[in-house]
Amino acid sequence: MNNRSIDLEVGGSTACYSVPVGPVHPALKEPIRFQFELDGERIVGVDIKPGFVHRGIEYMGMRRNLIQTLYLAERICGICSISHPLAFTQAVENAAGIEVPPRAQYIRTIIGELERIHSHLLWAGIGAHELGFDTLLHLVWKVREKAMDLLEQLTGNRVDYAIPIFGGVRRDIPKEKAPLAYEALDYYKRLLQDLIDAFLHDKSVEMRTRNIGVMTYDQAVALCAVGPTTRASGVKKDVRVDMPYLAYADMDLHAITPEDYGTEPIGDVFDNIIVRLLEVGQAIEIIEFCLENLPEGELTSIPKVPALLAALKKASGEGIGRHEAPRGEVFHYVRLEEDVEEMAVWKVRAPTYGNLIGWVPKFLGDEVADIPIVAASIDPCMCCMDRVHLVDGVGAESVKTKTELVRLSREKTRRICG
Amino acid sequence: MNPEQILSSFKESLGEKVLDDRTVERKVGTVAPKSVYDLWLTVDRSDLHDAVAYLCAEYNPHLTVISGDDLGDDVAFNYHFTTGWGERYGEATLTIRTVVPKNDFRLPTICDLLPGAQTSEREKHEFFGLEVEGIPDDRNLFLPEDMTIHPWRKDLQAETDKQVKRLVKWEERDE
Amino acid sequence: MSATIVHAVWQGIVILFGGALLGMVYKGFDRKLAAQMQGRIGPPLRQPFYDVVKLMVKENVVPDHAVGWLYNLMPLLSLAAVGTLLFYLPLGGFKPLLGGYGDLILILYLLAVPSLAMVVGGFAAGSPFATVGAQREMVMMMAYEFPLAITFLSIAWRLSVVLPGQPIFSLTTLAANPLWGLVGPIGFIGLLLLFLSLFIVTPAELAKIPFDIPEAETEIAGGLLAEYSGRNLAMFYLGDAIKMVAMASLMVALFFPYGLANLFHVTGAWGGLIDVAFFLVKVFVVIFVAVITVRVGFARLKVGQVTRLFWLPVTGVSLLGMLLLALDRFV
């Protein structure tokens, strides 16, 4: 019988003082509060308190009809913005029994993989910034702009693309746009080796990331970590491979671990960099496959929105939708009731939610100087993770209409401009 | 990997404790469609720990999340596991469902079997008021520490609404 | 007598202002060039002036937990030390203003004072981030002072062998007699090694990446300087700018004190002007190579790694240089 308890404490020394990091701190791109117990520079204890970007999304989603909730789901996060709609539409389609045409599946995959490229490059830049290596931050983010431009050309928006709808997609990728996509992919193919050189062959980066923030294979499995974080420890968990969906079901993919680079997986920050950069390469291949094999056909199985809403209202059942977001497995659970427009249950589980407790073994034993890079190594997306209420602790209910809000903001602008 | 095998082995091992089970098969892939499976299992609250222990012993599962469904007098908790990761087409989702009455609102923890369950259990504790017996840490996770409301309980909505601050009035529907 | 004092005071004021101005001009170049190397446009060259003016106008916040008088005194001390340092350096080809009243050993101490002032200011600020930053600065100082001292002493000692009887620690003598031409080939290599180690010590002395650990922005939110604002921060900022000029001038004085005017046989005012211009160019080159390119090319190191780096390889290199210089005497 496996012993699944893991050591979440570092023994042997007394904590001298406690340093809070967050909710506002230059190392954190989103608010979360850590409380570190330090012995000199060594971390001996960590307490994590999320919940600062809690917005009431599931609460709101269960009071709106499904298409309104779809827009809400997209705005759970800006960086992984299509991951939530992809999982959500899957869940509802499974619950209601709606089919998705092949062309729509491939288009969803293309946009999903483009998002993976831009998200991993964003992470690489942030990681460099946490290390103090601002040069790499600026250069990588400059490179990332090509993916953002392509996304804007294909979908009309840099984030929040509004592509999936229940039963298909809302916009097409016509043949005329394919050359744009190929040009961007060539650009990345040429630059990928330079990126890998810049990060993985740099001595100062290696000094700062090797054997830092280690999460072993057993810890990763016991703590149910997901995504590149767990693949860096050698655990081959990847929803696209284990339980394929969309166009991934037609491809022969494998979960990328540091073994693909030739090194033994240790689960440190360096392995995280390896996995994410190699996944950019894998994403490029997937997009090329999808563009070449894009099937003809309709874009959505129920084109008229009123008909769609009627079909969803009549549907009943439970559905699970899973997608491999850039940060890991995104999971949506939906239960629909017959003749009720809203969902009965909607549970969103973002990847950072699963990796949250994985932070604890990663931090223990490292130094204060490693806090930013270890915090960034799981690629945290707090806004995906915190979802529910906007609460006013004092208890007074304050309802403002939209016109009033606009008036207030204009007043403030006038005040500032004086 | 055969999903029927999983459910039948559960039934063999737990016998009468499996109250209900269902296999949902879906086809994926446009070129050569293959099947993927969602498995659903219902057990009584007192058998939950045994069921999860059996799962952990035999099938090396991954816990995704625990979701809760307020049914009026009781609350159904779905433990969403997946098993069989690591192999192409090898994974199936397995949801273990248990119903807990509101007047006896507690559940045993599974953190001793799967330490990664802690986040989900803490969330259920703060959002439903569920008492999880044996949990290592039961402080509020996403809500502020001094918060006492349970937003997901449909019968306690009045209390929740008092503490909700709405910025924009949405078509009279948020009342 | 009073005329010389007035003259000296005037010169002092010119040096101070000139040093501050130069420091900010070089800082402006630093930011602009670093930005260009990173693929950005970067701020205008006048940006450090805007920064200092802005900081002077902002509110000076003293935290509740801080030791008030220490907290406010340290920026002044830092600025005063760096300003005084300028008086002992041969700038622009001229003799140091207070040449007869202090020498290389005094400079070594004066170089340490601004860092010490920041350390005390960090401890006095009463914030955990400042405390961590101050501890790191102390550890870093212990690391880089050793190679710095070895370099200075080796050069001074070697000069004493070549020119017995002269005050060898005086910057005037050192600037007038560059060692490159006075030693044999082994000594040349030794001198090169010492030059290399001083090069590596320079970004550490100035707390620039990869050695800007005490002020690590992403790790400890500004560290030492986290609680400073307004006038105090402006003084630290100015002190940092002047220290950059001072350190670069020191390097130029020890290793490249050559003047152009003699080469072209130009004397008088024009000769002085040419020498000053050449000096500015030399200082800029030192700053470019030792500070700017290094700043853009590396990630920040950890304090343990920095101490190991300085105590083992860099000290080793400087000791080897010293050994070679000594050997050269017998060859």
Say how many CB pairs under 8 Å bridge A and C.
Answer: 74
**pLDDT the model gives residue C61:** 87
Residues 86-145 of chain A with CB under 8 A from chain B are: 94, 102, 105-106
Q: Return d(Cα A167, Cα A211) in angstroms, integer.
A: 46
> How does strand B106-108 pair with strand B131-133?
parallel
User: For residue C176, what pLDDT band results from cuts at 50, 70 and 90?
Assistant: confident
Residues 6+ apart with CB under 8 A from A87: A321, A322, A323, A330, A331, A332
**pLDDT the model gives residue A400:** 47
Interface test with A, best of C218, C296, C306 (most A CBs within 10 A): C218
- Pick C99 or A313 by higher pLDDT: A313
Residue A345 has pLDDT above 60, yes or no: yes
- Asked if A377 contacts A213 with a C-beta cutoff of 8 angstroms, the reply is yes
**pLDDT the model gives residue A2:** 36
Q: Is residue B46 part of a domain?
A: yes
Type of residue at B28: V
Of C38, C217, C302, the CB nearest to A208: C302
Of A4, A245, A344, the CB nearest to B115: A4
- Contact A/B (≥3 CB pairs under 8 Å): yes
User: Which tokens sit at C227?
Assistant: 């609680």
Residue A12 has pLDDT above 60, yes or no: no
Collapse the DSSP code of A226 into the 3-class scheme (helix H, G, I; strand E, B; otherwise coil) and give the result: coil
Q: Give tens-digit pLDDT for A77-128.
A: 888 889 999 999 999 999 999 999 999 999 999 999 999 999 999 999 999 9
CA distance B68 to chain A (A): 8
**pLDDT the model gives residue B172:** 55
**pLDDT the model gives residue C21:** 93
DSSP class of residue A173? -
**pLDDT the model gives residue C58:** 92
Across the range C64-83, mean pLDDT stands at 90
- Specify which residues B63 forms β-bridges with: B81
Q: Return d(Cα B7, Cα B18) in angstroms, integer.
A: 10
DSSP class of residue C89? S
Collapse the DSSP code of A165 into the 3-class scheme (helix H, G, I; strand E, B; otherwise coil) and give the result: strand
**pLDDT the model gives residue A401:** 53
- Asked if A107 contacts A82 with a C-beta cutoff of 8 angstroms, the reply is no
Q: Return d(Cα C210, Cα A404) in angstroms, integer.
A: 51
Which strands sit side by side in the sheet containing B18-28, from one edge to the other? B18-28, B34-43, B92-101, B74-83, B62-70
Contacts of A17 in chain C (CB under 8 A): 128
Q: Exposed (0-12), middle (13-18) or buried (19+): which is B7, by Cβ within 10 Å?
A: buried
**pLDDT the model gives residue B79:** 92
Comparing CA positions, the residue from B19, B170, B34, B33 lying closest to residue B98 is B19
Comparing CA positions, the residue from C67, C91, C47 lying closest to residue C237 is C47
Mean pLDDT score of chain B: 83
User: For residue A387, what pLDDT band results from cuts at 50, 70 and 90?
Assistant: low
Number of Cβ within a 10 Å radius of residue C256: 17
Contacts of A51 in chain B (CB under 8 A): 140-144
H or E segment to which residue C271 belongs: helix C268-287
Q: Give tens-digit pLDDT for C4-22.
A: 888 888 888 988 998 999 9
Residues 6+ apart with CB under 8 A from C313: none
Across the range A209-228, mean pLDDT stands at 91
Lowest-pLDDT range, A203-207, A241-245, A389-393, C182-186? A389-393
Of A130, A135, A367, the CB nearest to C38: A135
**pLDDT the model gives residue B155:** 78
User: Which tokens sit at B4?
Assistant: 């029927």
To the nearest whole percent, how much of chain C has pLDDT over 70? 98
H or E segment to which residue B168 belongs: none
**pLDDT the model gives residue C238:** 92
Beta-carbon separation of A249 and B91 below 8 A: no
Across the range A129-136, mean pLDDT stands at 88
pTM: 0.87
Residue C219 has pLDDT above 90, yes or no: no
Comparing CA positions, the residue from C187, C157, C160 lying closest to residue C328 is C187
**From A398, which residue of chain B is nearest by alpha-carbon distance?**
B165
Lowest-pLDDT range, A31-45, A252-266, C193-207? A31-45
Mean pLDDT score of chain A: 85
Residue A402 has pLDDT above 50, yes or no: yes
The verdict on C139 touching A (C-beta cutoff 8 Å) is no
Q: Exposed (0-12), middle (13-18) or buried (19+): which is C182, by Cβ within 10 Å?
A: middle
Collapse the DSSP code of C63 into the 3-class scheme (helix H, G, I; strand E, B; otherwise coil) and give the result: coil
User: For residue A393, what pLDDT band results from cuts at 50, 70 and 90?
Assistant: very low
Beta-carbon separation of B82 and A242 below 8 A: yes
Q: Is residue B167 part of a domain?
A: no
Comparing CA positions, the residue from C109, C113, C89 lying closest to residue C15 is C89
User: Which tokens sit at B18?
Assistant: 């499996």
User: For residue A392, what pLDDT band results from cuts at 50, 70 and 90?
Assistant: very low
Residue A13 has pLDDT above 60, yes or no: no
Q: Is residue B171 part of a domain?
A: no
User: Which tokens sit at B63?
Assistant: 């816990």
**From A344, which residue of chain B is nearest by alpha-carbon distance?**
B69
**pLDDT the model gives residue A4:** 44
Domain limits for position C296: 2-330
Lowest-pLDDT range, A69-78, B19-28, B108-117, B156-165? B156-165
Residue A55 has pLDDT above 90, yes or no: no
Collapse the DSSP code of A32 into the 3-class scheme (helix H, G, I; strand E, B; otherwise coil) and give the result: coil
Of A142, A204, A372, the CB nearest to C301: A204
Q: Give tens-digit pLDDT for C113-168.
A: 999 999 999 899 888 888 888 888 899 998 999 999 999 888 888 888 877 777 77
Residues 209-228 of chain A with CB under 8 A from chain B are: 221-226
Work out the widest C-alpha separation in chain B, in whole angstroms: 55
**From C221, which residue of chain A is nearest by alpha-carbon distance?**
A26
Q: Give tens-digit pLDDT for C225-274.
A: 888 888 999 999 999 999 999 999 988 888 888 777 777 777 777 778 88
Beta-carbon separation of B174 and A63 below 8 A: yes
Collapse the DSSP code of A274 into the 3-class scheme (helix H, G, I; strand E, B; otherwise coil) and give the result: helix
- Pick A282 or C68 by higher pLDDT: A282
Number of Cβ within a 10 Å radius of residue B104: 9
Q: Return d(Cα C251, Cα A306) in angstroms, integer.
A: 78
Comparing CA positions, the residue from C186, C199, C181 lying closest to residue C257 is C181
Of A17, A207, A372, the CB nearest to C218: A372
Across the range A210-229, mean pLDDT stands at 91
Domain limits for position B71: 3-162
* CATH code for position B117: 3.30.460.80
**pLDDT the model gives residue C164:** 79
Q: Is residue B121 part of a domain?
A: yes
Contacts of A133 in chain C (CB under 8 A): 298-300
Q: How many residues does chain A have?
A: 418
- In chain A the domains, ranked by start, together with CATH numbers, are 78-336 (1.10.645.10)
- Pick C27 or A29 by higher pLDDT: C27
Residue A322 CA neighbour count, 13 Å, CB half: 28
**From A27, which residue of chain C is nearest by alpha-carbon distance?**
C218
Q: Return d(Cα A378, Cα A370) in angstroms, integer.
A: 13
ipTM over 0.95: no
User: Which tokens sit at A152?
Assistant: 């804007």
Q: Is the dihedral of CA C203, C205, C208, C209 positive or negative?
A: positive
Contacts of B86 in chain A (CB under 8 A): 235-237, 242
User: In this structure, what is the dihedral angle of CA atoms C136, C141, C147, C153, given to the nearest 10 degrees?
Assistant: 180
H or E segment to which residue A46 belongs: strand A42-49
**pLDDT the model gives residue A64:** 84
Q: Exposed (0-12), middle (13-18) or buried (19+): which is A187, by Cβ within 10 Å?
A: middle
Residue A323 has pLDDT above 90, yes or no: yes
Lowest-pLDDT range, A79-83, A295-299, B28-32, C264-268? C264-268
Q: Return d(Cα A298, Cα C208) in angstroms, integer.
A: 59
Question: What is the count of structural domains for chain B?
Answer: 1
User: For residue B167, what pLDDT band results from cuts at 50, 70 and 90?
Assistant: low
**pLDDT the model gives residue B139:** 80
DSSP class of residue B4? H
Question: What is the count of structural domains for chain C?
Answer: 1
Q: Exposed (0-12), middle (13-18) or buried (19+): which is A119, by Cβ within 10 Å?
A: buried
